[in-house]
Amino acid sequence: MKVRFWGVRGYVPTPNAAMLRYGGNTCCTSVTGEHGELIVLDTGTGFCMLGDELMQGEFGRGRGTLTLLISHTYWDHILGLPFPGVVHIPGNRLDIYGPDSTRGSLQMVYDGMLSPVYSPVFGLAHIGATHRFTPISTEPFIVGQLTIRAMPLSYRPHSPIWAYRLEEGGRALVYITDVRYSERGIREAAIAFAKQANVLIHSAPYLRDEQVEDYGHSRVEDAIEMAQAADVERLLLFHHAPMRTDDELDAIVAHFRQMLAAQGSPLQLIAAAEGMELVV
């Protein structure tokens, strides 16, 4: 599996010269399998950049297939979907997995997001690519040679949030975002879910010093403790806060690497950056 980050910012895109190295586009990560399967985790504005690149290949000719795994439907995870030309080319296929909310299925949420009052697309029916929505469950499923598992990260029925685990050839990538470990039982379940992952992508917008309460977002320290408890190899901090500059992120990573070294921890810590590629 090859991972590439297209958007790593949380909450809102931040076009800012002091944030370009890590990047200002919102959540979107692509995973490419050994046999070319293309899986995309969330469609924030980073998806627009991915779409531009896909246009150069099979997708530009209407012969592409994309599996989208949606963690949840807050703006910074979905608003990029309708913009890339590739989603409007007939023949392309979008297989979209994600949670249904008690306020509407995933498909209804996307349809509402694209309704004429919010979008010139005038609704999901006008997305030219063939699209199929599948409500996510804990039942594992297969995309090409990859096995995908999912786990609920929230008990709030209006706003379900799910984590994903992608496995291929004995290697595992886990994606956890917008988690609140103060919810009962979630931390233990997440640790079991991420057990011995080679790569864990984990949202961590703030530090405990900055955010004393866990307001729907685990902090950097929570992500590190969780990764250690799950025996993760590499932790990628993700969903950076909108005010966080490149230099501040460098300093945060340096500080916590030093801490890990002092502990003798084998955990590798990296801050995800737009354009960064890694092999799981």
Partner 1 sequence: MRVRIWGTRGSYPVANASMLRYGGNTTCVEVEAEDHHIILDAGTGLRMLGEALRQSHAPPNRFDLLITHTHWDHIIGFPFFAPLFDPNSKIDIYGLARTQSSLRTTLAGALSDPLLPLTLDDLRAQINFFEIGAGHCLELGPVRVRTALANHPYRALAYRLETDQGVLTFIPDTGPFHTVLFGEQRIEWTGQPTARSQSELRELAAMKEAILELAYRADWLIYDAQFTDAQYARFPHWGHSSASQAREIAEAAQVRQLILFHHDPHRTDAELDQIVAEQQAAAVPGLIISAAFEGMELARKP
**Closest CB to partner 1 among residues 62, 144:** 62
Q: How far is the CB of 138 from partner 1 (least distance, A)?
A: 19
At 136, give phi and psi (nearest 5°).
-75, 145
Q: Which is nearer to partner 1, 24 or 33 (CB)?
A: 24
Token code pair at residue 279: 């092999």
Say how far apart CA 156 and CA 149 lie, in whole Å. Answer: 20
**Residue 81 vs 235, nearer CB to partner 1:** 81
Q: How far is the CB of 115 from partner 1 (least distance, A)?
A: 9
Of 120 and 264, the one with the shorter C-beta distance to partner 1 is 120
CB of 140 to partner 1, least distance (A): 24
Q: Which is nearer to partner 1, 33 or 98 (CB)?
A: 98
Contact residues: partner 1, CB under 8 A: 9, 11-17, 19-20, 23-25, 45, 48, 52, 72-75, 79-80, 83, 101, 103-104, 109, 112-113, 116-120, 122, 126, 156, 158-160, 216, 242, 274
Indicate the residue among 164 and 256 with the shorter CB distance to partner 1.
164
- Least Å distance between CB 78 and partner 1? 8
Q: Minimal distance in Å, beta carbon 175 to partner 1?
A: 18
Least CB distance to partner 1 at residue 149 (A): 22
